[in-house]
Chain A
Amino acid sequence: MDHDFLFDVWHLFVRALKKTIRTPIVIISALALPVLFLVLFTQIFTQFGNLPGFPAGGYVQFAVAGVIVMNPLMDSGGAGEAVVDDINSGFLSKVLVTPANRTAIVLGRLLHDMVMVLLPVSITLALAYALGATVITGAPGILLILFTAAFFGLAMSGLAMAIGVRTKSSQAVAGLDLVIAFPLMFVSTALVPYGFLPHWAQAFSNVNPFSYVVNAVRVLMSTGFVWSTILAAYAVIAVFAAVTIGATLYQFRSVER
């Protein structure tokens, strides 16, 4: 790959990382969320695990995958808000008048999101272990789970960024993010097995990228290296990421107000 390109990605990644580290409240809220979700969901829905037809292993073992994949979904807004800030402060224009590669400008920030999401995902995994969940595929499986969550983060943060560049409004990013995140999260296999979903929800779940990613993490947690499920998730994420990043780049043309 082009040396200059990697150079640009790296330095814009480092910039994004410094900004986040210097505003630690962002990290703290990102860490609190999975703890909250995991404890709340597993407490409230724990009786589900005893229903006939529920996968073996109990509710915690089942729901961990859902909560893991919620992290990249819930944390994606940051990328959108950051690009809105950069547009409104003029910083993006300042970068655009340098020879910096346009794709690298987007990927620098998204790489930051991929790395940052590993923190809450790791916390989720550790807490789930404390609550009795296990990862059947062991250390390689855990690595693959981390990678899957980060890869999904690339696509979701890319979506937030595309919305940010399009609307130039933080409120729009936060609002749309929720409107998009909730159906993806709840009309999926994240918290309920596929067979428990009503028919319309099953139909939606079939095309819901979130379900594909949750299923991949879930097989790594409970079944094994089921490559058909894992690769299906990667294919879905790749398409999703390509579309959102492409949309962002396309809109860079109209960054100027």
Chain B
Amino acid sequence: MVKAVETRDLVKRYEDVEAIKGITLEIEEGGIFGFLGPNGAGKSTTIKVLTTLLRKTSGSVTIEGYDIDKDAREIRKVIGVQSQETILDGDLTGRENLTLQGHLQRLHGNALKKRVDELLTLVELSDVADKRAAHYSGGMKKRLDLASTLVHKPRVLFLDEPTSGLDPQSRVAIWEHLETLNRDEGVTIFLTTQQMEEADRLCHRLSIIDHGEIVVSGSPVELKHQLGGDTITLSLANGDSDGAKDRSKRIVSGVQGVTKVLDIETGLAAYAKNASALVPDIVRLFDENGIRLTSISVASASLDDVFLQHTGRRIRSEELSKVDTWKRHV
């Protein structure tokens, strides 16, 4: 069976920076695949290369069996692409935006008219279809942008952070549209995201990408399962003074049931199957050793924990910068 996306040792180098350092991917048709990673990990660059916008430096890419070096035009007929920024012609109406995209995909006449109406209904913009897109709200623009990538019924849809900057309600609306598309029309979806929640909810399979490399791949459930259960997060009252962190680490590692302990900015993260049951023990041990805790909390393992385990950092951009500062101090 033909793969929706296949890359081998894909490299993209800008003058002195290697943005993608040898990515190998095989994405089956019909699934939702996610690229999860922080800003600057190489997600957008990968999408731009896969969608024929940027030339790769080396390696191979095929989309739906078409080789990107030989059949870029064929690829453009079977893909839909939504970039990170919402791209519309604000001077044109919603309907005109969709119709123009249809024309550029060589659709015309009644078939195109019908398709445009259908999409306007799908993204709930029928009643504003003849207003200029410049007057739409952020959520409406994003929906129109998504619709404009669907006019020609693409087989593979590339979405670069499809819900970034949206309010929670619009975000859920987009997720529902994507799930419907995937389920009812069998569209393969390749998306990038920085949001755990999005990756968790939508993706059948995902790869975590950091510094231009794939760190780990699997289904969200598999990846979280590998961590061995829940997360216990401990915050140390006095930070790392007197080697408190190392001592704490030894204490927590010694607790029966704990599978892994990781450094985080404010303290430690530990993984264990029946985490809540271990909390009293841990608290007692810290008391006995005279290390003060400001908080201890238990949560089920998230994709963020998966990212942390493989990269030593949290993925959330605001925390990322703090971690970097902390690392420099050490």
Contacts and interface: CB of A to CB of B under 8 A. Distances in A.
| B is a partner of A | yes
Interface of A: 4, 7-8, 11, 15, 18-19, 22-23, 89-91, 93-100, 253, 255-256
A97 B80 CA distance: 8
B92 A15 contact: yes
Contact of B87 (A7, A11, A89): A89
A18 B96 contact: yes
B128 interface: no
Contacts of B96: 18
Nearest to B51: A97
Contacts of A22: 91, 132
Given A90-B83, A99-B76, A256 B103 contact: no
A23 B104 contact: no
A93 B53 contact: yes
B170 interface: no
Interface residues of B, number: 28
B77 A99 contact: yes
A71 to B, nearest CB: 24
B89 interface: yes
B103 A91 contact: no
A256 B52 CA distance: 11
Given A23-B91, A97-B51, A97-B53, 14 more contacts: A4-B106, A7-B106, A11-B103, A15-B89, A15-B92, A15-B100, A18-B96, A89-B87, A94-B101, A97-B52, A99-B73, A99-B76, A253-B55, A255-B53
Contacts of A97: 51-53, 76, 79, 81
Given A18-B96, A99-B76, A253-B55, A94 B91 contact: no
Contacts of A90: 83, 85, 87
Given A18-B96, A94-B83, A99-B104, A256 B91 contact: no
8 contacts: A7-B108, A22-B132, A93-B83, A93-B87, A95-B104, A97-B76, A97-B79, A98-B76
B304 to A, nearest CB: 30
Nearest to B87: A90
A97 B73 CA distance: 9
A157 to B, nearest CB: 19
B319 to A, nearest CB: 28
B87 A98 contact: no
B2 interface: no
A15 B99 CA distance: 11
A95 B163 CA distance: 22
Contact of A256 (B48, B104, B106): B48
B180 interface: no
Nearest to B48: A256
Interface in B90-125: 91-92, 96, 100-101, 103-106, 108
A49 to B, nearest CB: 45
B73 A11 contact: no
